[in-house]
Every structure is written in structure tokens, then in C-alpha cells.
Structure 1
């Protein structure tokens, strides 16, 4: 029943009523947060800090926890799922079926993000552009098993448009994954660098200007 009521609450157009109802259902939504009209199915808990925003027309399916830090934002038309459930006796990692976003982290538009193994996005990170795919579970052809591992974006890192990140990959602090690139399974991409290609490789040192992180430059 709680799951169905959460689904209903997210479809309401009235922001203040929606937040009050979600908090009564056991979620933790700050009064200054914004929660748009979204399709939510079987999500156990939302935590939205001061000024956090979830825009309209996102889909959230099957996650245990969604946590947005202060000022973090999910814009429009993204699909979040936890598409794989570990079997009896299989280990559940710390971030299993969790989306965790730090302060002032952003996910823009039209991305597909599998959070089965966990997606951990640190402060001031961006998943920009459109059509990037984040896969935290994938088939391992060597032994026929399923790899379920979290993907991590360290502080101030950026993912450009149409990228792919595979299970266990890490984008280092202040690094940029260039448009159309793929971070391979368990690949660690060095901090302060531009990475590109399939699989991604380090192309050059990189220092991202502070103004790049200012959302107002892009949304007005």
C-alpha cells in the first residue's frame, strides 16, 4: 500500500501537498525541495535535502533508496531502474539499488541509469547532454556470471553526452569523460584528466573552470 501511495503522490501536481504526503509515508523531503510529476514504482525511500530538485517526467523503478544532496538536481525525462536482483547467497554491496547524489550534483536529460549495483555521484558532478547509459550490472562472458558493482563519479567530474559507463567504473575527481566514450568494466579514470574513446583512455591533463559547474549558465 505504501508503494502505491508513493506512486500516487508523485503524480500529484501540487508541490506542497505532495511533499507533505511523501513525508507522512516515511520519506524525507525538505520543504524547499521541488518534486515534479514523475512515474515511481517500488521505490522504498526518497531523501531530498534543502533545495534539491527532481524535475518532471522522470521514471524511478525498483530502487531501495534515492538520496539527493543540497542543491542537487535531476532534470527531465530520465529513466532510473534497478533491473537486477541478487539471488540467495549472493553478496549485496553497500550501494545495492541506491542512487546517491552529493551537493550540487546534476543529471540532465534523457539518460538511462541502472542503479542495481549503486550509482554514487559526489558533489559538483554532472551527467550532461543526452542519451548516456549507466550500467551497474552486466553479463561477464568469461565465467557466465553477472557483475553487479557500483559506478562512482568523484567530486567535480563530468560525463559528456552519449557516454556509457559499465559496472565498477570510477571517474576521478575533476575528470571529464568525452562525448561518445565508454568507461570499461572496473576501469578507473584518472583525476584531473580528459578521457575519450572506446574503451576510454587518458587524452590530456584537464582543469575544469569553476563557472562550468554553475547551472544558471545553462537554464537561465
Structure 2
């Protein structure tokens, strides 16, 4: 496995343009990524320290995934095409005296659809069956502390069986509770509470979700299907 940061980045770039079997060989043999035999990576630039993909997990075409110390996709987790996931590497010293974990963790059948931007300078977690759906959403884990004029970080979590709709913004420290929906165009700037439909700027509870809906009761076994 390649240790040099420069040669790892070069290998990741070359792999993006290779046919499937050669691309997989570079990812597993040269970069040391741990891929289940059924996991698939498209023509994507994957330049991270550690990548683990479970059964049926997919990273689609034209995904940029760089700078994370750890990326983990559970069984049947999917990142669709044209998603940009970027982080500042831990050794860069950009966030001095800030404890952070630059990582992306996706649970069982978690989903990130197309055309999203994810700042993973701190942990971004999608629990089992969680979805960053639609398109054009921003997940942001770092921002300037205006009191100290220093960069600060906080993790973001989309909890189990929740959905964040198109063009939403999740700010540092955002937590979407389980079995909840964030309406399109909303801004989540902290910890939300309850099984609710949230919406607005900032997002607030609008009404309780119906836990009998099919989205909240998808089967754990088998392929994910439409979701």
C-alpha cells in the first residue's frame, strides 16, 4: 500500500479514469481501501486515508471525496453521482486547538443523492436508512467563530430513518432526530427534537410525522430498491 501522500493522491486521480477492474485494483492494492466484493466505485476521485464499503455499497460517477481520515459506507449505502465531499486533513493544522474527526460515516441503506456539497472537516454521519435527498443541499461542519476570529468545528448527524429534502442547509452542530423530515429549503442550525416535519429558516417543528409511513418502516434485509 502506498504511504506517500503525494503518490496516493496521484494514484487516486489516475484510478478515476481507469476501467472497473483496474480501478478496483488501485483502490484495494495501492490505496488499501476495504471494499466488499459487491461494492462498486464509479469514475470518481476518492482520496482519503481509509475507506470501507459494505455489501452492495455504491459510490457513483463524478464524486469528489477527499481529505477525510475515515469514510465508511454500511451495507447498501449509496452516494449517487456529482457529490462533492471535502475536508481539510487532520495534519494540516488549519484548525488549531480544535478537536475534530474529519470523517463520513453512512449506516445501513443510508443515501446521499446527486449534486450535494458536504464539508466533512468534522464528522458527518448518516445513520441507518437516513437520506440526504433531492439535490443542492449543503452540509457544513466548520465556520468562523466571530468572537475569537478562529475556525471552529462541530459534527452533523442525520439520524435513523430521517430525510433532508432539496436545497437544505445543515450548519455545524446540526442534529436531525430519527424518523423526521426536513422540508426543502430549510436551515438547521442546532439540535432538533422529536419525530416531526421541520421547516423554515431556522427550521422549526411544523407537525408530527406519522410513524406508520412506509419510509419509516423499510425492510432491513435485501436491496434498498427505490430507497
> TM-score, normalised to structure 2's length?
0.86
From 20, 30, 38, the counterpart of 1:32: 38
From 92, 97, 115, the counterpart of 1:90: 97
Unaligned runs of 5+ in 2: 1-6
Find the residue that maps to 2:23 and give its secondary structure. helix
Q: Structure 1 stretches (4+) deviating beyond 4 angstroms?
A: 83-89, 211-215
Query: For residue 10 of structure 2, what is the aligned residue in structure 1?
Result: 4
CA contact (8 A) 1:138 1:147 kept: yes
Give the alignment of 1:35-184 within 5 angstroms: 35-40=41-46, 42-83=47-88, 85-87=92-94, 90-93=97-100, 96-184=101-189
Find the residue that maps to 1:189 and give its secondary structure. coil
Q: Show CA shifts across 1:90-136 (max 9, x none).
A: 1333xx21011001000001000000011011000000111100000
Q: Show CA shifts across 1:10-48 (max 9, x none).
A: 33232x3322331112110111011100123x4212111
CA contact (8 A) 1:136 1:149 kept: yes
Unaligned runs of 5+ in 1: none
Q: Show CA shifts across 1:55-109 (max 9, x none).
A: 111111222221100000000101110147544751333xx21011001000001
Tell me the matched-pair count.
Answer: 212
> TM-score, normalised to structure 1's length?
0.88
Q: CA RMSD in A?
A: 2.0
CA contact (8 A) 1:123 1:156 kept: yes
Find the residue that maps to 1:216 and give its secondary structure. coil
C-alpha distance in structure 1 between counterparts of 2:57 and 2:126, whole Å: 14
C-alpha distance in structure 2 between counterparts of 1:211 and 1:121, whole Å: 15
Q: Show CA shifts across 1:153-174 (max 9, x none).
A: 1111110000000001100011
